[in-house]
Amino acid sequence: MALTFDPMSQLDRFAAAVLDSVRAPRFMPVDLFRDGDRYVLNADLPGIDPGSIDIDVDGTQLTIRAQRTADGRDDVRWLARERGAGSFLRQFTLGDGVDVDGISAAYANGVLSVIIPVAERAKPRKIAVETDESAAPQAIDA
């Protein structure tokens, strides 16, 4: 005989409904890596309206905000509703070695990609060593 009522799943749904009413910003998972002369930040934001994405740079603070609206269908009987609506927020502190004027972003397939170029002054470079020819060893005539 199959059990059709799972009390723990009902408790999970109740807790999710109560916690969802708090309306705290949701977590936004990201991957961040350096690729040559740029940093790439990929943030998972499935189901987000691209028009709701807001990226700000204030000094050394990069802030990403986005909004997912709820499916307002009241004419159906929901069996599971785990994709919560609400706001997403993530903040990052940028170091001195990035070019904040060159930051760009694109949103495709539920992933926000933010490209953060490395500043010229922070790129690796070779330092030329100068020599003083007058200090070079001299041959002595005897």
CB 86 within 8 A of CB 20: yes
- For residue 141, the number of C-alpha atoms closer than 13 Å in the C-beta half-sphere is 0
Which CA distances in Å does 137 have to 32, 111, 134, 141? 53, 63, 8, 13
The structural domains of the chain, with segments of one domain joined by +, span 19-70+84-123
> What local confidence, expressed as pLDDT, does residue 131 receive?
86
Report the alpha-carbon distance of residue 54 to residue 132 in Å, rounded.
56
CB 86 within 8 A of CB 104: no
pTM (two decimals):
0.68
Task: List pLDDT tens digits, range 77-94.
Answer: 888 877 778 899 999 999
Which CA distances in Å does 42 have to 2, 71, 141? 43, 25, 70
In whole numbers, what is the pLDDT of the chain averaged over residues?
A: 82
Task: List pLDDT tens digits, range 110-130.
Answer: 999 999 999 877 677 788 888
How big is the chain, counted in residues?
Answer: 142
Query: Is 19-70+84-123 CATH 3.20.20.70?
Result: no
Name the token pair of 65: 């905000």
> What local confidence, expressed as pLDDT, does residue 56 receive?
95
